[in-house]
Amino acid sequence: MPDTEVPIRDESIRLGQLLKLAGVVDDGGVARAVIADGGVTVDGEVETRRGAQVRPGQVVRLGEHTITVTTGG
């Protein structure tokens, strides 16, 4: 299961942007579709809002990908 750490420089990042930044989706349209279909979890809870704010320390999962948000982008 590929694990990725994504450092951000702000207090939070929108979920759709995070998926693009981590390289697990090709563009915003794909991000919107997988999020809307319930394929993404944040800290173990399904998240269906593309604009949901994700903060350092939170863990996002999409299929086999695990993304941990860190500080220091």
**Tokens matching residue 23:** 């390289």
Domains of the chain, with CATH numbers?
A: 3-71 (3.10.290.10)
Three-class secondary structure of residue 15 per DSSP: helix
Its pTM stands at 0.93
Residue 73's pLDDT band, with cuts at 50, 70 and 90, is low
Is the pLDDT reported for residue 1 higher than 80?
Answer: no
In this predicted model, what pLDDT tens digit does every residue of 32-50 receive, in sequence order? Answer: 999 999 999 999 999 999 9
In this predicted model, what pLDDT tens digit does every residue of 7-25 receive, in sequence order? Answer: 999 999 999 999 999 999 9
> What is the Cα–Cα distance from 45 to 41, expressed in whole angstroms?
5
Q: State the pLDDT at residue 9.
A: 94
Amino acid sitting at position 30: V
